[in-house]
């Protein structure tokens, strides 16, 4: 052989990496889920085995009024929130995509704020506004003599959830509406179709898959949300709050598992219905048309679009504004407005609230690094390697994406409370739960990036004699770095204030931001909670903004 031949050795690394990734998935995702499913079918305290098999834990869904109403409430809340969020978002998406509007990018960036702000603290703002002694309630009564519906219960939960989650529909559908081939609608126009007919027969059918997918995200988020119904629920229980009640009240993990299972069944049912709706639809292949979609320019349309979009944005940002405002309140007891303003709450943030903030950053940081490493490797394997059972890998990774957070929490409690690995009360259990809950974000983001990289580039590197690790390090990873970073930032930003899984798994030594806020809200210390909330919102926004600048994508793009 001549001069520059590479050393002839077997490249074992991809296999080792693959096996390691598989072990992690099995140990922290598949095993906990299986154990939860099994646990749901035995009584509290019994060993999971066929001998102890029972449907006892499910009986309550047919007997106990709390359980029956929790199932009904969960479905009603999620369906209503999804419908309201979608109906609110669609006109806004159409307006921003198809009507000439100033500050388009600014609108898109603003709409990201409700997604990064923790929804439960926003929920508390609605109490301040619309609660029994809320600001709006009092003015409505004093000036107009109107009695508003009580904020506690269905009205408040649906209001808070739909205003927090509508941006998913808004951003996704807006993207689909601006990306389509403008000639398709023009051809309908030339054939004699009116504007309304085109909207009905062409525009809407073409974005229906996007609407359905976005509505699905809202539904899953709403169904799994713990914070909002915990604060606004009052006497009304939904499945996640019922699970919390079972765990914190009775530490009945088997009962909680059964509720979790019912929760998952509802999610799966919804996904099944979506798949049925989408079955006969084809996704549009976006052509390389450089022309943008035609934008309406009439004065009436523009006035209406601006009024609608800005009103919606203002409504959805009210909770965040309230949070920031009340964080400056020094004295606010028994009055409509605070009587004294100051920075006292922020001094507290750097005093006794510093520990939770530090905890959140550490836990979220470690979990993010893990999701990046394993999410990237899995995405690479899934996109580049052809192997039997690839669908199973994809499904496994995406599973936590559809599992409500409380369910993951229950699964971790059930699994790591005893047995071969005891983790309850540690920071590790939080990190691992965060990891499995968010790995899908990195997986999706990186998969999309990798499938856009020509495999021939990697082949060229291999032909030149580079090992797999070197090719990954020098070619693949640099090319997909924007995708990795985008995924990582979303993971980190959403983990800082993660609530649903934390509330079940935290311990006294590992309180996070979300727990600290929740505790203060529970003891009516809104200004202190608001200060932490404001710091969190600011931190997350700065992070997302910096990352979007670094990657050269808009902030809104990162959430699509």
Partner 1 sequence: MAHQLAIESLTKNFQTAEGPVTAVDNVSFGIGGDDFFTMLGPSGCGKTTTLRMIAGLESITSGRVVFDGRDFTRVSAFQRGIGMVFQSYALFPHMTVFENAAYGLRVRQLGENEIKTRVQRSLDKLGLGGLAQRHPSDLSGGQQQRVSIARALVYEPTMLLLDEPLANLDAKLRVQMREEIRRIQKDLGIMTIYVTHDQEEAMSVSDRIGVFDRGRLRQFGAPSEVYADPRSLFVADFIGKANFLKVGIQAADRNSAKVAVRGYAPFAVARSVTLDSEESVEIPAGSDGLLLVRPEHLEIAAGVEGGLPCRVRRIQVLGSFIRYIVECDAATREVTVDARRAAPGVSEGSNANLGFAAEDALLFARKRP
Among 10, 282, 386, 456, which residue interacts with partner 1 (rule: CB under 8 A)? Answer: 282
Task: Give the C-alpha distances (Å, rounded to integers) separating 53 from 151, 264, 415.
Answer: 43, 20, 18
C-alpha span between 363 and 514 (Å, rounded): 12
C-alpha span between 417 and 368 (Å, rounded): 24
Min separation Cβ 5 and partner 1, Å:
43
- Number of Cβ atoms within 10 Å of the Cβ of 96: 25
Tell whether the torsion through CA atoms of 545, 550, 555 and 560 is positive or negative: negative
Min separation Cβ 171 and partner 1, Å:
22
Task: Give the C-alpha distances (Å, rounded to integers) separating 434 from 437, 459, 490, 501, 506.
Answer: 5, 35, 13, 8, 12
Q: Which residue lies nearer to partner 1 by CB, 209 or 338?
A: 209
Min separation Cβ 202 and partner 1, Å:
6
Min separation Cβ 101 and partner 1, Å:
17
Q: Which residue lies nearer to partner 1 by CB, 43 or 281?
A: 281
Among 132, 248, 281, 331, which residue interacts with partner 1 (rule: CB under 8 A)? Answer: 281
Q: Which residue lies nearer to partner 1 by CB, 6 or 205?
A: 205
Which residues in 186-215 contact partner 1 (CB under 8 A)? 186-194, 197, 201-202, 205-206
| Eight-state DSSP code of residue 284 | P
Q: Which residue lies nearer to partner 1 by CB, 105 or 339?
A: 105
Residues in the chain: 560
User: Site mask, partner 1, residues 146-185, x = CB under 8 A?
Assistant: -----------------------------------x-xx-
Min separation Cβ 107 and partner 1, Å:
21
C-alpha span between 313 and 93 (Å, rounded): 12
- How many residues sit close enough to partner 1 to count as binding (CB under 8 A)? 23
Is the Cβ–Cβ distance between 124 and 526 less than 8 Å?
yes
Q: Which residue lies nearer to partner 1 by CB, 292 or 474?
A: 292
**What residues form DSSP beta bridges with 329?**
341
Min separation Cβ 178 and partner 1, Å:
17
Is the Cβ–Cβ distance between 270 and 212 less than 8 Å?
no
Q: Which residue lies nearer to partner 1 by CB, 139 or 283?
A: 283
C-alpha span between 210 and 380 (Å, rounded): 25
Q: Which residue lies nearer to partner 1 by CB, 199 or 318?
A: 199
Span interacting with partner 1, options 43-51, 221-229, 282-290, 353-361, rule CB under 8 A: 282-290
Q: Which residue lies nearer to partner 1 by CB, 43 or 292?
A: 292
Radius of gyration of the chain (CA): 25
Min separation Cβ 192 and partner 1, Å:
5
Q: Which residue lies nearer to partner 1 by CB, 42 or 188?
A: 188
C-alpha span between 80 and 86 (Å, rounded): 10
| Eight-state DSSP code of residue 286 | P
DSSP letters for 388-447: TTHHHHHHHHHHHHHS-HHHHHHHHHHHHSSTT---TTSHHHHHHHHHHHHHHHHHHHHH
Q: Residue 528: which H helix or E strand, with range?
A: helix 526-551
User: Site mask, partner 1, residues 289-318, x = CB under 8 A?
Assistant: x-----------------------------
Q: Which residue lies nearer to partner 1 by CB, 10 or 291?
A: 291
Q: Which residue lies nearer to partner 1 by CB, 297 or 418?
A: 297
Min separation Cβ 277 and partner 1, Å:
13
User: Site mask, partner 1, residues 235-274, x = CB under 8 A?
Assistant: ----------------------------------------
Min separation Cβ 235 and partner 1, Å:
46
41: CB partners within 8 A, 6+ apart:
48, 53, 54, 55, 57
Min separation Cβ 198 and partner 1, Å:
9
Min separation Cβ 53 and partner 1, Å:
48
Is the Cβ–Cβ distance between 215 and 86 less than 8 Å?
yes
C-alpha span between 93 and 168 (Å, rounded): 10
Span interacting with partner 1, options 1-9, 280-288, 404-412, 431-439, rule CB under 8 A: 280-288
Min separation Cβ 279 and partner 1, Å:
13
- State the number of CA atoms in the 13 A half-sphere of 258 facing the CB: 20
C-alpha span between 213 and 205 (Å, rounded): 13
Q: Which residue lies nearer to partner 1 by CB, 287 or 509?
A: 287
- Residues interacting with partner 1, by CB under 8 A? 181, 183-184, 186-194, 197, 201-202, 205-206, 281-282, 284-285, 287, 289
């Amino acid at each position: 052989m001549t001069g520059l031949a590479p050393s002839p050795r077997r490249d074992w690394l991809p296999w080792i990496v693959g096996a390691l990734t598989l072990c992690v998935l099995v140990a922290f995702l598949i095993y906990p889920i299986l154990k939860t499913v099994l646990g749901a079918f035995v009584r509290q305290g019994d060993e999971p085995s066929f001998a102890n098999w029972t449907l006892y834990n499910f009986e309550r869904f047919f007997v106990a009024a709390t359980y029956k109403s929790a199932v009904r409430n969960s479905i009603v809340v999620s369906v209503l929130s999804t419908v309201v969020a979608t109906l609110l978002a669609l006109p806004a998406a159409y307006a921003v995509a198809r009507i000439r509007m100033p500050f388009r990018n600014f609108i898109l960036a603003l709409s990201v704020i409700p997604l990064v702000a923790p929804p439960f603290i926003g929920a508390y703002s609605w109490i301040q506004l619309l609660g029994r002694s809320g600001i709006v309630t009092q003015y409505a009564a004093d000036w107009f003599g109107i009695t508003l519906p009580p904020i506690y219960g269905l009205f408040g939960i649906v209001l808070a959830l739909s205003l927090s989650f509508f941006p998913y529909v808004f951003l996704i559908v807006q993207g689909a509406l601006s990306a389509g081939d403008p000639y398709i609608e023009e051809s309908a126009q030339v054939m004699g179709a009116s504007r309304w007919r085109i909207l009905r027969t062409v525009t809407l059918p073409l974005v229906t898959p996007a609407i359905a997918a976005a509505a699905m995200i809202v539904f899953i988020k709403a169904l799994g949300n713990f914070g909002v119904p915990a604060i606004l629920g009052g006497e009304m229980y939904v499945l996640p709050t019922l699970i919390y009640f079972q765990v914190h009240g009775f530490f009945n993990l088997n009962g909680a598992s059964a509720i979790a299972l019912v929760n998952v069944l509802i999610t799966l049912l919804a996904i099944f219905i979506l798949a049925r709706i989408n079955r006969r639809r084809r996704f549009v292949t976006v052509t390389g048309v450089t022309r943008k979609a035609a934008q309406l320019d009439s004065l009436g349309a523009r006035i209406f679009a601006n009024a609608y979009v800005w009103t919606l944005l203002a409504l959805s940002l009210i909770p965040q504004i309230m949070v920031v405002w009340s964080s400056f309140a020094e004295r606010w007891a028994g009055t409509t407005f605070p009587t004294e303003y100051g920075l006292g709450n922020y001094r507290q943030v750097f005093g006794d609230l510093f520990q939770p903030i530090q905890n959140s950053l550490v836990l979220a940081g470690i979990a993010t690094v893990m999701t990046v490493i394993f999410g990237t490797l899995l995405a690479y394997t899934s996109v580049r390697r052809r192997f039997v059972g690839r669908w199973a890998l994809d499904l496994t990774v995406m599973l936590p994406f559809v599992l409500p957070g409380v369910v993951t929490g229950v699964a971790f409690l059930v699994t790591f409370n005893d047995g071969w690995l005891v983790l309850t009360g540690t920071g590790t259990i939080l990190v691992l739960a965060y990891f499995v809950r968010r790995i899908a974000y990195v997986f999706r983001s990186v998969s999309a990036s990798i499938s856009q990289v020509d495999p021939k580039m990697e082949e060229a590197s291999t032909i030149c004699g580079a090992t797999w690790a070197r090719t990954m390090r020098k070619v693949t990873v640099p090319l997909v770095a924007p995708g990795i970073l985008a995924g990582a930032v979303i993971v980190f930003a959403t983990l800082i204030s993660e609530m649903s899984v934390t509330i079940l798994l935290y311990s006294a030594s590992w309180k996070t931001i979300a727990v600290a806020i929740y505790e203060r809200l529970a003891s009516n210390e809104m200004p202190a909670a608001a200060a932490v909330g404001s710091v969190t919102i600011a931190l997350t926004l700065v992070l997302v903004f910096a990352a979007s600048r670094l990657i050269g994508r808009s902030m809104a793009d990162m959430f699509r």
